[in-house]
């Protein structure tokens, strides 16, 4: 899966979920400032959020949870998917993260 953009991440998630009949459940954890639900989504016992971040298809959002920060760091070090190029953290997300968790791609 060479496309590291939105289309690539959507394709990766569809592949990971597999069958259209697979059961995915999302457990709400919070509401963000835009009134969107912040949730953890699971296929069985697998945390799909963690898988997306660990594979370089998504970023951690430390304002709401520190659960995926180490997974993001590992994906960045491996330079996989969105971290394989010159990815810049979206401005809104960069502003939302506590400064001590902001890391630069090297």
Report the chain (106 residues): mean pLDDT per 10 consecutive residues. Answer: 70 91 94 93 97 95 92 95 84 52 44
Instruction: Say what the pLDDT of residue 7 is.
Output: 85
Positive/negative CA dihedral, 30, 36, 39, 44:
positive
pLDDT of residue 92: 56
Distance CA(48)–CA(32), nearest Å, equals 19
Q: Residue 3: what pLDDT?
A: 54
What's the rounded Cα separation, in Å, for the pair 74 and 91? Answer: 22
Per domain, the residue ranges of the chain are 6-20+47-101
Q: CA-to-CA distance for 60 and 73, rounded, in angstroms?
A: 9
């Amino acid at each position: 899966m060479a496309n590291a953009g939105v289309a690539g991440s959507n394709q990766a998630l569809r592949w990971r979920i597999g069958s259209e009949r697979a059961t995915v459940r999302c457990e709400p954890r919070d509401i963000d400032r835009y009134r969107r639900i912040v949730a953890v989504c699971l296929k069985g016992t697998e945390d799909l959020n963690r898988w997306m971040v660990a594979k370089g298809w998504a970023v951690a959002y430390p304002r709401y949870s520190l659960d995926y920060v180490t997974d993001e760091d590992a994906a960045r070090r491996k330079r996989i998917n969105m971290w394989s190029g010159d990815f810049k953290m979206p401005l809104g997300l960069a502003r939302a993260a506590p400064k001590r968790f902001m890391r630069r791609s090297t």
